Amino acid sequence: MLDFGMTIGGRQVAGQDRFAVLNPASGEVVGNVTNATIDDLDQAVSAAKDAYPAWSALPDAERQKAIGALAATLEARAGELAELLTRENGKPLGGIGSHFELGGAVAWTGYTAGLEMPVKVLQDNDEGRVELHRKSLGVVGSILPWNWPVIIAIWHIMPALRAGNTVVVKPSPFTPLSTMLAVQIMNEILPAGVLNIITSDDQGPSIGAAMAQHPDIRKIVFTGSTATGEKVMQGAATTMKRLTLELGGNDAGIILPDVDPKAIAEGLFWGAFINTGQTCAAMKRMYVHEDIHDAVVEEFVNFSKNMKTGNGMDEGVMMGPLTTPFQHEKVAGLVEAAAKDGTVRLGGKSLGGQFHETTIVTDLADDHPLVTEEQFGPTIPILRFHDVEDALERANASDSGLGGSIWTNDMDKAKSLALRMECGSVWINKHGALQPNAPFGGVKKSGIGVEHGDEGLMEMTDIQVILQ
């Protein structure tokens, strides 16, 4: 059993109280970690604030080199990190699981190291010269979710460091261990105080809320539910913090009648059920043209039923448990209600503990909770449509707007429909495939701001204009 302390100012800090982190597949204790106090948070912020002047003053090329070194050291320890991630999160070690997540974390780190922040000349003529400069903010606070705890930490941390900021990270109490180990590894390279991590079970004084209100944190990056994002935004208002909020999604996929149902079955499966469906940008609603509805359902079921559910450490497992007890309870409740009102084509039952069968349901009304709520688990409703305009209207009838997809062989039609979807990202003949050079963020209640690429890097900066 592991016993991790927080990393503050380059040192391991044990704290006074501890809480246990459980394996969602077995219920066994994976490790114990520090339960931070508000004083611990203040120390972490002070360490980051003290480290900021030197880190931000480094020549740009030196920061790039340091972040490149972080990619190399994370890659060298990826196997160790992946195994710890599976034990605390439940996702499979192989397949599109923990090794996949660590590979993405390394790739994103390396890509971010190479990003540039050039001075932009807005005017240079007889009337004068105007330059736009990007300047670091100071201390950035990162609040992480439990579904992709390592790669999302990288999404938060690396652009902040690249821009010259220092960072305080708070992981989810359900999955802190892999992030804590990653921070320890990175502190072998980074100067003391540049990257700090605090942990809390969220049962006592809210460390997340205190971060949102902390006067010495200049920006909060938060990934999680819309309801919690609203609270972060409210807390940040008193200090006018910068915010990047990547919040919940209820992504729709629209399948047009010209596709081959068998050819798209695998793409539909991973678009909906990657990480056992516990992904913000996973497909949560599937609208299928009536001419191919039955064939798509049949092929989707045939592919899905062969994907093994079990302990992520076991060979051949592709679907793990739900990571948290409350998420299992939510999914089980939504599926139970859907079984009464629709037709269960696959699955439909809890498997005990925090495991749930992969479940596909048809014949539900558009106002059914399985359609209107973000289920965040291994279940999806499939809905018929006759007219593509109707499908588009129904897909857009949501307060969420994170991602969406169009499935067709007609690329011109796909792009035309994509531009009319009310969401931040639209994929064609795939779903949820993020990449480091493509900005990612939501519209409506799915968030504010973007991550990744040049645009994500710039969100970690303030603009200063020099006019001469």
> Does 359 fall in a domain?
yes
Residue type, 310: G
Nearest to 17 by CA among 38, 45, 43, 1: 38
346 shares a domain with 235: no
Q: Which amino acid is at 319?
A: M
Q: Count Cβ atoms within 10 A of the Cβ of residue 340 and give its class: 0-12 exposed, 13-18 middle, 19 or more buried.
A: exposed
Q: Are residues 292 and 203 in the same domain?
A: no
138 falls in which pLDDT band (50, 70, 90)?
A: very high
Condensed to tens digits (0 to 9), the pLDDT of residues 245-286 reads: 999 999 999 999 999 999 999 999 999 999 999 999 999 999
Instruction: Outline where DSSP puts E strands in 396-460.
Output: 400-401, 403-407, 425-428, 443-444, 447-448
What are the two backbone dihedrals, phi and then psi, of residue 92, each rounded to the nearest 5 degrees?
A: -60, 145
Burial class (CB in 10 A: 0-12, 13-18, 19+), 208: buried
Q: Which two tokens stand for residue 73?
A: 């050291």
Residues 6+ apart with CB under 8 A from 438: 425, 452, 453
258 and 242 both lie in a single domain: no
CA–CA separation, 3 vs 301, rounded Å? 43
Same domain? For 172 and 136 the reply is yes
Same domain, 13 and 116: yes
Q: Would 51 be classed as within a structural domain?
A: yes
One domain, residues 454 and 371: no
- 272 and 383 both lie in a single domain: yes
CB 105 within 8 A of CB 151: yes
Do 186 and 283 belong to one domain?
no
User: Range of 169's domain?
Assistant: 2-247+446-467
Q: Are 176 and 266 found together in one domain?
A: no
CA angle 276, 280, 286 (to 5 degrees): 75
- Tokens 């999680």, residue located: 224
CA distance 217 to 325: 32
204 pLDDT more than 80: no
Q: What is the pLDDT of residue 84?
A: 98
User: So what's the pLDDT on residue 456?
Assistant: 98
Dihedral sign, Cα of residue 445, residue 447, residue 449, residue 455: negative
Quote the crossing angle between the two packed helices 98-113 and 60-76, to the nearest 10°: 160
If you average pLDDT over residues 102-126, what whole number do you get?
Answer: 98
Q: What is the 3-state secondary structure (H, E, C) of 156-196?
A: HHHHHHHCCCEEEEECCCCCCHHHHHHHHHHCCCCCCCCEE
Q: Label residue 316 by pLDDT band (50, 70, 90).
A: very high
CA atoms of 190 and 74, how far apart (whole Å): 13
- How many domains in the chain? 2
The pLDDT > 90 percentage for the chain reads: 98
Q: pTM for the complete prediction?
A: 0.97
Do 404 and 337 belong to one domain?
A: yes
Residue 203 clears pLDDT 90, i.e. is over it: no
Q: What is the mean pLDDT of the chain?
A: 97
CATH code of residue 172: 3.40.605.10
pLDDT, tens only, 415-459: 999 999 999 999 999 999 999 999 999 999 999 999 999 999 999
Residue 432: which region, alpha, beta or left (left: phi > 0; alpha: psi -120 to 50)? left
- Averaged over 27-49, what is the pLDDT? 97
Confidence (pLDDT) at 16: 84
- pLDDT category of residue 386 using cuts at 50, 70 and 90: very high
pLDDT attached to residue 300? 98
Q: Output the domain CATH number for residue 369.
A: 3.40.309.10
- In this prediction, residues 124-142 reach a mean pLDDT of 98
- Give 61's Cβ-side CA count (13 Å radius): 0
* Encoded amino acid at 144, one letter: L
* Orientation of helix 60-76 relative to helix 177-186, angle to 10°: 130
Whether 333 is in a domain gets the answer yes
Are the CB atoms for 256 and 458 separated by under 8 Å? no
What is the three-class DSSP state of 44?
A: helix
The pLDDT value recorded for residue 373 is: 97
Structure tokens at 2: 């592991």
Q: Which residues are tagged catalytic?
A: 246, 280
Residues 121 and 27 in one domain: yes
Q: Are residues 291 and 411 in the same domain?
A: yes
In the Cβ-directed half-sphere of 163, how many Cα atoms lie within 13 Å?
30
Q: Is residue 441 part of a domain?
A: no
